[in-house]
Amino acid sequence: ELDLFGWRKWNFCERDYWINAFVDVVPRIDYRQVSKAEFVQNYEAKNIPVVITHATDHWRAHTTWTESALLENYGSHLFKVGEDDDENNVYLKMKHFLHYNKHEGRKDDSPLYIFDRKRRRKADPLSPMLLLGDYQVPSYFSDDLFRLARERRRPPYRWLVMGGARSGTGIHIDPLGTSAWNALLKGHKRWCLFPPGTPKKIIDPPMKPYDHEGVSWFSTVFPKFKVRDGPEDDNRTLGERLGMVEVLQRPGETIFVPGGWPHVVMNLDTTIAVTQNFCSPTNLDYVYLCTRHSRPKLGQRLYQKIKQLGKTDPEFAKMSVQLDMVLSVPRLPPSSSDSSSSSSSSTTLSSSGASDNN
């Protein structure tokens, strides 16, 4: 049973969460003009967030992932919107979610948010698997090394994400050291990112009585990062001193989130997007170090497959050498295990731990 007061007790719907575009100083690159090699050299290798324009121009999803098309083609299909207090997945039919998003969701503090893995389910054999054919992974992110672990053994890594204003994800670090990309087809997303190593006690403090949701974070934690409380000779805000990055993601834009960057995301209006996590030759060292202890069987399989392929493939031979060089590195601190939690607004519906992720 859902308590309406529990969904709306903070009246977040009465607040304005939009940000001015001028605070977004993240570099933007044109997918049509910047090569993969340039992207890797200037951003991925340096572990720097960047927004990519025009990477989705040719996607069929621009027409097949509209609300009307989703209602017509997938209205009776179930999509994951969260977990209950016992960590059981909660699903809604697309038609019911769309109705909720246009009505009850407009008032809820942190509305329900589709964060669906797009995997075939026994009770729903067709499910949304067909959606996978509506987009193509940008070439920047095509080197997905976790594919070597096979589809059934690899961690969850791709999701359809859809929700109304104030839905989103609480602050987290994507697990296993993976990086992520998020391509937005409709609406606007507000992001806040912090460099690796930023003290958790500062950016992720206890939030009781609020839930660990994006809107709660922006309402109660974010304001302190705009305060200028440093030494007299330092006029920067706390956020500026920490290297905080703010992004206003617009339709058609794809954001690259490097591994190890804590981030929080909130939808500013109804959004439809796809996101994937990945392990590439560039971040392989870090991902392997994170994986070999958190998921030892997966880490061992990744190591063995790369060693095997390295016997005949020069590129994998280089990766094999990379891994051998970090074998003696001690265990890294674990990253967030709930990196892609979807939003919910009820005291009886908690965030969706969509990833094992991003």
Question: What burial class does residue 186 get, using C-beta atoms within 10 Å of its C-beta: 0-12 exposed, 13-18 middle, 19+ buried?
Answer: middle
Q: With 60 as the cut, is the pLDDT of residue 336 above it?
A: no
- Segment 64-96, tens digit of pLDDT: 999 999 999 999 999 999 887 788 899 999 999
Q: Is the pLDDT of residue 341 over 60?
A: no
Domains of the chain: 4-282 (2.60.120.650), 285-326 (no CATH)
| Average pLDDT rounded to a whole number, residues 168-192 | 96
Write out pLDDT tens, residues 295-328: 999 999 999 999 999 999 999 999 999 999 999 8
pTM: 0.89
Q: Tens of pLDDT along 101-114?
A: 999 999 999 999 99
Identify the DSSP state of 329. S
322 vs 326: CA distance, rounded Å = 7
Number of Cα atoms under 13 Å in the Cβ half of residue 323: 25
Percent of the chain with pLDDT over 70: 87
Please state the rounded mean pLDDT for residues 9-19: 91
What confidence tens digit (pLDDT) does each residue in 32-51 have?
999 999 999 999 999 999 99
What is the C-alpha to C-alpha distance for residues 30 and 116, in angstroms, rounded to an integer?
A: 29
How many other CB atoms sit within 10 Å of the CB of residue 163? 29
